[in-house]
Structure 1
Amino acid sequence: MTDTSDPVPVLIVDDDPSMRAALRQWIRLAGFETREVATADQAIAQLNPGFEGCVVTDVMLEGEDGMSLLRRIKDLDADLPVVLITGHGDVPMAVDAMRAGAYDFVEKPFDPDHIAEVVRRACDKRTLILENRSLRTQLEESAGLESRLIGASPAMQALRQQILHFARTDAAVLITGETGTGKEVIAQALHDFSPRQGGPFMAINAAALPEAMVEAELFGHEAGAFTGADRQRTGRIEAASGGVLFLDEIVSMPLALQPKLLRVLQEKKIDRIGGTKPVEVDIRLISAANIEPAEAVQSGRLREDLLFRLNTIELRVPPLRERGRDALLLFDTFLNRFAVQYGLEAPVTSARDEAFLQTYSWPGNVRELRNAAERFVLNAPVSPQPLETLVTGQRDPSAALAGGGLKELMDAYERNLIEGALRRHGGRISDVMNELNLPRRTLNEKMTRLGLSREQVGQSDAAES
């Protein structure tokens, strides 16, 4: 039998109590769990496309016969195995049933070992079908997520795996990362790839609302609760019931409201302003912070007990400067999207542009990169400029190299790559070697030829032996 932690269920359908009892005994002795019903309608009520086992049914049932039940099961799930029990005179009907998609039929009287073997094979087939479905779903979800969270760096690959795994749970998630890294995109993905995908996704930025409005926005109010409250208003938490509430910049939530949010998470109830009785809610809370949560607790901006409720799962979004060549991939994607959006030809990036993409620190992260791509597309037909100039407003003296020969372009490209790596890693040569996949001797030769040293990024040689 299939190796599973719990016994695989087998649904027995027979209107003869003695036959049900016999089948129950033989099938349970073979290591399966049995569920028993007498009619076709009762059988359909027990089944769904995720049913893990098989169905064993008599052909001749009181009321609706086994052939009709087979057709209904195939409409529910064409891959659910159905084993038919037949009398001698029912064999032609059973043959027709096999043509209609039945897994097998067993003629009465039958050997208990034979029925057990047929059930075992049917359940093994069902297990394989469900495993293949699950794998196909995972592949489809992974492809869908890759189109939202673009990046081939190990950090992004790991983040996508975490999202798909944690999306299936209902645990609270705290997303941390710098401004512009895509925290709301991740929150939306956690909703869209979860069992709550059919429910609402309610997003609110705690820092964007005046403090006086936050409580009413989150919890709602009754008519007459305060001046100007002329009618009842449903708060964002209540409106998110059945789905996901995303609270961005959670550390900006007023301290006075944090105990109320904690109560919602603990008791699954809210109190509207001016209300007299709690309202039950069913939400999954996803929050985001652009500073370290521990730092927010130490500075008195976030209650520690609330943090323990928020970060059952904590996802860290890496800044763009830590994502290697992802900047190139993202920029190319945005470039083509904006070219289509504005009906323009996608401009070609130069070697200097690509070097800048990889070496610039991108303090605004993906949001800044996206803006740069849009400006690059719009400026190209009328006022083409190096990407570095568009982003920083500075014209580097080496910009003249953009029109130079291959050697000059390659030197500029290498210089920007190595200088950027030195800056990112604080002058630690071993880390620069790992990022650029260069041996120490080759790196030293290139740095000497290009006039680069660790002192240029304010580092001393004491850090390396």
Structure 2
Amino acid sequence: MSTFLIIDDDPDIRASLRLFLKTRGHELLEAGNGDEALNILKKQRPDGVLLDLFLGKESGMQLLGQIKKTDSTLPVIMLTGHSDVATAVEAMKLGAMDYIAKPFKNEYLLLVLQKAVKVSELFMEVKALRRQVKKKTQPAGVVFGPSPAIEAVIKQAHIVAPTDLSVIIQGPSGSGKEVLARLIHDFSRRASGPFIAVDCGTLPEALVESELFGFEKGAFTGADRKKPGHFEMAFKGTFFLDEVGNLSPNVQAKLLRVLQERKIRHLGGKTDIQVNVRILSASNKNLSELVEQKKFREDLYHRLNQFSIKLPSLSQRKEDIPVLAAQFIREANRSLHKKVQSISRAALAMLEAHSWPGNVREFRNIIFRAVLSAEKSVELEHIQLEPSTVAHSTAPISASPGNSSPLTGQTLKEAVAPLEKEMIQKALKETGGNKVRTARLLGIDRKALYYKIQKHGL
């Protein structure tokens, strides 16, 4: 049952609406003037308000302003005569959700009121979520945990989030740098703006500039239309540059100019475009060492490094593993439509013994595969550690020294390629060819998956 407030000086209209809404299971609060309405609103929040544009000597427009001042999210529907539609439209500019011209059909009124209920529920949900966000010291459902090392990271994130300082997040691959960047964005004053993330390590060199800065039509072969860059798309939000250490010297120079002047220029463009973004960056390399090696601009490094956060590897915070296992089991259940409820002590012990060179990303992949094979509980036999990383584990593994193979002259990339292809094939089979689920299962983004599928001819 929904509750509505009608503000109308005509008692006949109020009585008619009261009878109609009561037959539809709704409750109607009634006010004949502005004072009565405001007194009701002090005591109770209805799901919507029906407000007559003219209340005798009172102005419905003026009362609308008072209601919106009291509760800006409360849906207000204006009641008006056909000759007053233009005034009703002005009321919508002042915050009214909709208007209905008299005489109106009850069924149409009901549709508008149902819309008001949905709007009201949405606003209440947003308020509740905002309250939850303010109360949280770390986000639920992400790659963190209760360890002292992560608590220190979260504390640093909360300190720097409300500022506009540029932040460098350093940590090994798979440790959750982008998740931390999103956390900083979510707790910043730019949270209502976009969060745009770019992996500089996977962007082809020829496309880096056009992706970051955009281009004009005809700027190069194939540029058949104008396209904004990521800096523009992140307007009033946060731009996250992952693996920033991979940028070429030329792009580094252009990025420095953006940070200094807050302007960009499209490829093929002749005019500068103002940008309004906060820059967060990350690297699994030591950027200060790259500066010493003359592989990264020192002036750019200092611009990016106004604040620094270092993420520990998973092997440095193994007390987080039980929490992460439970979280990823829940995620896998939702993604894979499974109902796994727990993980055995033996399986958990094996996970805690592993060195996790791939960090949280590798851990998540293992849990997803285990959930795919398990029924009610993840057991030891469901844990399939990566063949390329099992040797790093301190868990007991039966193996014969005589089984080791000598190096064959292959590069690491050539040796890993067949395994990568096999894993992608298995994942595609397990997900029925669903690319989104396959990417999640493998712990990579869809662009990377499409590239690897094409590379391996799958």
If the length of structure 1 is used for normalisation, what is the TM-score?
A: 0.54
Partner amino acid for 2:299? Answer: D
Other-structure match for 1:292? 286
Deviation at 1:228, TM superposition (A): 2.7
Other-structure match for 1:404? none
Q: Give me the whole-angstrom Cα distance separating, in 2, the residues matched to 1:70 and 1:143.
A: 41
Q: Does 1:76 align with 2:76?
A: no
Q: Give me the whole-angstrom Cα distance separating, in 1, the residues matched to 2:133 and 2:211.
A: 38
Which residue of 336, 341, 345 corresponds with 1:342?
Answer: 336
Deviation at 1:230, TM superposition (A): 2.7
Identical-residue share of aligned pairs (%): 39
Is the contact made by 1:296 and 1:302 (CA closer than 8 Å) also made in structure 2? yes
Deviation at 1:353, TM superposition (A): 2.0
Deviation at 1:152, TM superposition (A): 0.3
Deviation at 1:166, TM superposition (A): 1.4
Other-structure match for 1:178? 172
Deviation at 1:164, TM superposition (A): 2.1
Q: Does 1:279 align with 2:273?
A: yes
Q: Give me the whole-angstrom Cα distance separating, in 2, the residues matched to 1:203 and 1:258.
A: 17
Is the contact made by 2:143 and 2:360 (CA closer than 8 Å) also made in structure 1? no
Q: Does 1:328 align with 2:322?
A: yes
1:225–1:172 distance in 2 versus 1, CA, 3 Å: same
Other-structure match for 1:362? 356
1:139–1:201 distance in 2 versus 1, CA, 3 Å: closer
1:387–1:178 distance in 2 versus 1, CA, 3 Å: farther
1:348–1:279 distance in 2 versus 1, CA, 3 Å: closer
Which residue of 254, 262, 265 corresponds with 2:259?
Answer: 265
Deviation at 1:357, TM superposition (A): 2.1
Q: Does 1:192 align with 2:186?
A: yes
Is the contact made by 1:141 and 1:193 (CA closer than 8 Å) also made in structure 2? no
Q: Does 1:208 align with 2:190?
A: no
Is the contact made by 2:138 and 2:154 (CA closer than 8 Å) also made in structure 1? no
1:238–1:139 distance in 2 versus 1, CA, 3 Å: closer
Which residue of 152, 156, 160 corresponds with 1:166?
Answer: 160
3-state SS in 1 of match to 2:196:
strand
Is the contact made by 1:362 and 1:368 (CA closer than 8 Å) also made in structure 2? yes
Q: Give me the whole-angstrom Cα distance separating, in 1, the residues matched to 2:374 and 2:397.
A: 17
Is the contact made by 1:356 and 1:387 (CA closer than 8 Å) also made in structure 2? no
Q: Which runs of 5+ in 1 are unaligned?
A: 1-63, 79-132, 401-465
Is the contact made by 1:293 and 1:307 (CA closer than 8 Å) also made in structure 2? yes
Superposed counterparts of 1:222-233, under 5 Å: 222-233=216-227
Q: Does 1:154 align with 2:148?
A: yes
Q: Give me the whole-angstrom Cα distance separating, in 2, the residues matched to 1:391 and 1:385.
A: 13
Q: Give me the whole-angstrom Cα distance separating, in 2, the residues matched to 1:207 and 1:398.
A: 36
Deviation at 1:274, TM superposition (A): 1.8
Superposed counterparts of 1:378-397, under 5 Å: 378-381=372-375, 386=380, 390-393=384-387
CA RMSD of aligned residues (A): 3.4
Other-structure match for 2:40? none
Partner amino acid for 1:76? Answer: K
Q: Deviation per CA, 1:353-387, whole angstroms, max 9, x where unpaired? A: 22222221111111111111111112224998626
Superposed counterparts of 1:97-116, under 5 Å: none
Q: Give me the whole-angstrom Cα distance separating, in 2, the residues matched to 1:221 and 1:267.
A: 19
Superposed counterparts of 1:30-179, under 5 Å: 76=69, 140-142=134-136, 145-179=139-173
Q: Give me the whole-angstrom Cα distance separating, in 1, the residues matched to 2:262 and 2:324.
A: 40
1:383–1:282 distance in 2 versus 1, CA, 3 Å: closer
3-state SS in 1 of match to 2:215:
coil
Which residue of 216, 221, 233 corresponds with 2:215?
Answer: 221
Partner amino acid for 2:175? Answer: T
Q: Give me the whole-angstrom Cα distance separating, in 1, the residues matched to 2:382 and 2:371.
A: 14
1:354–1:153 distance in 2 versus 1, CA, 3 Å: same
Other-structure match for 2:346? 352
3-state SS in 2 of match to 1:246:
strand
Which residue of 284, 305, 317 corresponds with 2:311?
Answer: 317
Deviation at 1:257, TM superposition (A): 1.3
3-state SS in 1 of match to 2:203:
coil
Q: Give me the whole-angstrom Cα distance separating, in 2, the residues matched to 1:322 and 1:397.
A: 17
Is the contact made by 1:141 and 1:164 (CA closer than 8 Å) also made in structure 2? no
1:397–1:200 distance in 2 versus 1, CA, 3 Å: closer
Deviation at 1:298, TM superposition (A): 2.3
Aligned residues: 281
Is the contact made by 1:335 and 1:374 (CA closer than 8 Å) also made in structure 2? yes
1:398–1:255 distance in 2 versus 1, CA, 3 Å: closer
Q: Give me the whole-angstrom Cα distance separating, in 2, the residues matched to 1:398 and 1:148.
A: 30
Is the contact made by 1:149 and 1:160 (CA closer than 8 Å) also made in structure 2? no
Deviation at 1:165, TM superposition (A): 2.3
Q: Give me the whole-angstrom Cα distance separating, in 2, the residues matched to 1:284 and 1:398.
A: 47
Q: Give me the whole-angstrom Cα distance separating, in 2, the residues matched to 1:361 and 1:294.
A: 27
Q: Give me the whole-angstrom Cα distance separating, in 1, the residues matched to 2:184 and 2:346.
A: 37
Q: Deviation per CA, 1:433-457, whole angstroms, max 9, x where unpaired? A: xxxxxxxxxxxxxxxxxxxxxxxxx
Other-structure match for 1:241? 235
Partner amino acid for 1:318? Answer: P
Deviation at 1:288, TM superposition (A): 0.7
Deviation at 1:148, TM superposition (A): 2.8
1:162–1:273 distance in 2 versus 1, CA, 3 Å: same
Q: Deviation per CA, 1:42-99, whole angstroms, max 9, x where unpaired? A: xxxxxxxxxxxxxxxxxxxxxx9xxx99996785368xxxxxxxxxxxxxxxxxxxxx
Q: Give me the whole-angstrom Cα distance separating, in 2, the residues matched to 1:348 and 1:255.
A: 50
Q: Deviation per CA, 1:393-438, whole angstroms, max 9, x where unpaired? A: 56999689xxxxxxxxxxxxxxxxxxxxxxxxxxxxxxxxxxxxxx
1:337–1:209 distance in 2 versus 1, CA, 3 Å: closer
Other-structure match for 1:255? 249
Partner amino acid for 1:350? Answer: S
Q: Give me the whole-angstrom Cα distance separating, in 2, the residues matched to 1:244 and 1:267.
A: 17
3-state SS in 2 of match to 1:390:
coil
